Amino acid sequence: MDKRPSISNMLKEERRFAPPADLAAHANVTAAAYEEAAADRPGFWAAQAKRLTWATEPTETLDWSNPPFAKWFADGKLNVAYNCVDRHVENGLGDRVAIHFEGEPGDTRTITYAELQSEVCKAANALTALGVRSGDRVAIYLPMIPEAVIAMLACARLGAPHSVVFGGFSADALATRIHDADARVVITADGGYRRGKPSALKPAVDEALTRPGTEDVRSVLVVRRTGQQDIGWTDGRDVWWHEFVDRQSDRHTPEAFDAEHPLFILYTSGTTGKPKGILHTTGGYLTQVSYTHHAVFDLKPETDVYWCTADVGWVTGHSYITYGPLSNGATEVLYEGTPDSPHQGRWWEIVQKYGVTILYTAPTAIRACMKWGDDIPAKFDLSSLRVLGSVGEPINPEAWMWYRKHIGADAAPIVDTWWQTETGAMMLSPLPGVTDTKPGSAQLPLPGIAATVVDDDANEVPDGSGGYLVLTEPWPAMLRTIWGDDQRYLDTYWSRFAGKYFAGDGAKKDEDGDIWLLGRVDDVMLVSGHNISTTEVESALVAHPKVAEAAVVGATDPQTTQAICAFVILRGGAAEDEGLVDELRTHVGRQLGPIAKPKRILPVAELPKTRSGKIMRRLLRDVAENRDLGDVTTLTDSSVMDLIQAKLPSAA
């Protein structure tokens, strides 16, 4: 293999923010956790497993005798739904609100833990009546409504692994996932609300179930959410949730399952090949999501109101809407819609209304809010917020600063959490009562997690250098395999560096040894012999007052191998004049050095994003190299690409 230079470390960031003193004084987790975990990693996780209520306490912690196939707490038995619901009711917390649901049209529902228990029991009884048994797979294709969480918990209660498919995915994507997991039941809704309008879901299920490979689906359970759609109905297969679930008994005795019993399969889109069914199991997964939700958000379940804005169709929703918060007895907000419907202050209105104290969202949303303007959040009382989280992409330092200043009143710590569908739970993050935070850095592995940055030869890089992020020890919430494809599991994650999990992300260590994520390694640009991270150039652009968002790609160039090509969205009001491009080039040169100056800069109105909000640089590379666009099916809005191409007058 060609020896490539390691990824450059160009961005210098000097700002530091100490934890607020009162938060630090009462923090759930202190610096001692790092020492405890370092002294005895399995022992640390065995102690965290006691957060859960086990039907049979595990005596074994980690079985790593057949790496990389891990078993955690293998002789323990537990029921996940019991841990997320029933035990809180038994502990006298039945009247505590579990979910404040806010529908996009403004309808609301308040669900206490006692109510959640009866809903989950009824749904579990309904699934049993539909023939679902432990081990059967159930596909869930729902909008962000309480039934999504209830359905997941009902499956978990029965030991029936769920496969949640994001409601924005097409009939094709749904069919592929139903087929791969061989699902027997699909849980869906007539539709949901999106930007003020009902948007149908059931027709996609009907269409998916005409595709080969989906014949084993015998029942479709349909939630009536909008009641406004004329939907097709297949007698004998389709049943209404409000008829069928509501007439079931609200009592159900949970069965305990092995800690390694499958909990769910979640498909990652990936950029190439067929989607990978990431398999997560029970005891280790729940231990780590529960611990990290408690530690990273400093959750005080008696007083906090927690809100994660993700969709349950993504792993963030699985781990930090359903399993983490509910296992901890949290009170949380569940919101159905988009941040700008019916107005661009909708999120802040929700924070004010429910007194949200912990907010967990994504950089893409923060940058959108930056673009809409500071005056919008300023209209609302956000003083309840005390911890802010970020996940999904590297957060540019200026977006981080904006989040802190305009949402967190210049006081709430920001926890930038790095993890993946595959890791199941957070892996790198500051701790809000411990870490002096740095804008744009996920900083360090959580207690009990071992991660580092290595070069091409798997040697750890010195402080101040770039390379690849790897995980060097197994962790409780790790994926167990790719559903039905152990070989692909080995090839994808464990073959690049012997004995280490390779996440696919570039990263660097700064002079203090803190870790900064630099974007996917597939996106790294090779310019005149330097490997330059997309993240660093984008962050430099976003640090310019006129830029709200930026995406950079390396386009083939005869002189420099690749040339940096930047697509920028300007902040509200900034003019797109002749001088702007020069001004931005000079600015990047000053921030990072002349080598990082983009050769071309193109102001655009929107950037191509996946449905989970990540920038699709691959398509921008196609544009920059004047190629026909590759697969655009995972784009949120494919017309974005037409607009961008129309701005490109001539070939590079």
Q: Which residue ranges make up the site for ligand WT7 (CB under 6 A)?
A: 268, 314-316, 391-394, 416-421, 442, 503-505, 517, 520, 612
For ligand WT7, the closer CB: 177 or 597: 177
CB atoms closer than 10 angstroms to residue 21: 9
What is the nearest approach in angstroms of ligand WT7 to the Cβ of residue 177? Answer: 15
Q: Which is nearer to ligand WT7, 345 or 394 (CB)?
A: 394
Of 188 and 420, CB closest to ligand WT7: 420
Compute the distance between CA of residue 332 and CA of residue 389 in angstroms, rounded to an integer.
15
420 labelled binding-site residue: yes
Residue 102: φ, ψ to 5°: -125, 110
Strand partners, 109: 101
Of the candidates 297, 290, 268, 422, which has an alpha carbon nearest to the alpha carbon of residue 357?
Answer: 297
Answer yes or no: is 288 a known binding residue: no
**DSSP string covering 309-342:** -S-TTSHHHIIIIIIHHHHTT-EEEEE-S-TTSS
Helix, strand or coil, per DSSP, at residue 143? coil
Task: For residue 480, give the nearest of 101, 73, 160 by alpha carbon.
Answer: 73
Which residue number, 471 or 640, has a Cβ lying nearer to ligand WT7?
471
DSSP code, position 289:
H
416 is in an annotated binding site: yes
- For residues 112 and 421, which CB has a smaller minimum distance to ligand WT7 in the complex? 421
419 marked as binding residue: yes
Say whether 245 counts as a known binding-site residue. Answer: no
Q: Does 397 belong to an annotated binding site?
A: no
- Pick the closer one to ligand WT7 by CB: 166 or 257: 166
Is 194 annotated to bind ligand?
yes
- As measured in angstroms, the least distance from the Cβ of 210 to ligand WT7 is 29
d(CA 70, CA 62): 7
547 is in an annotated binding site: yes
544 marked as binding residue: yes
In one-letter notation, the amino acid at residue 125 is N
Q: Residue 442 CB, nearest distance to ligand WT7 (Å)? A: 5
Residue 594: CB minimum distance to ligand WT7, A: 26
Distance between CA atoms of 509 and 8, rounded to whole angstroms? 11
Residue 63 vs residues 131, 242, 615: alpha-carbon distances, Å: 34, 44, 38
Q: In this structure, are residues 186 and 220 in contact, taking their beta carbons and an 8 Å threshold?
A: yes
Kindly state the smallest distance separating residue 630's Cβ from ligand WT7, in Å. Answer: 19
3-class DSSP state for residue 95?
coil
Sheet (strand 162-164) strand order: 238-240, 219-223, 185-189, 138-141, 162-164, 262-268, 276-281, 481-482
Query: Nearer to ligand WT7 by C-beta: 504 or 589?
Result: 504
Q: How far is the CB of 620 from ligand WT7 (least distance, A)?
A: 17
Give the nearest distance from C-beta 416 to ligand WT7 in angstroms.
5
Residue ranges at the known binding site for Mg(2+)? 542, 544, 547
Residue numbers belonging to the annotated binding site: 194-197, 316, 392-394, 416-421, 505, 520, 528, 542, 544, 547
Known binding-site residues for ATP equal: 392-394, 416-421, 505, 520
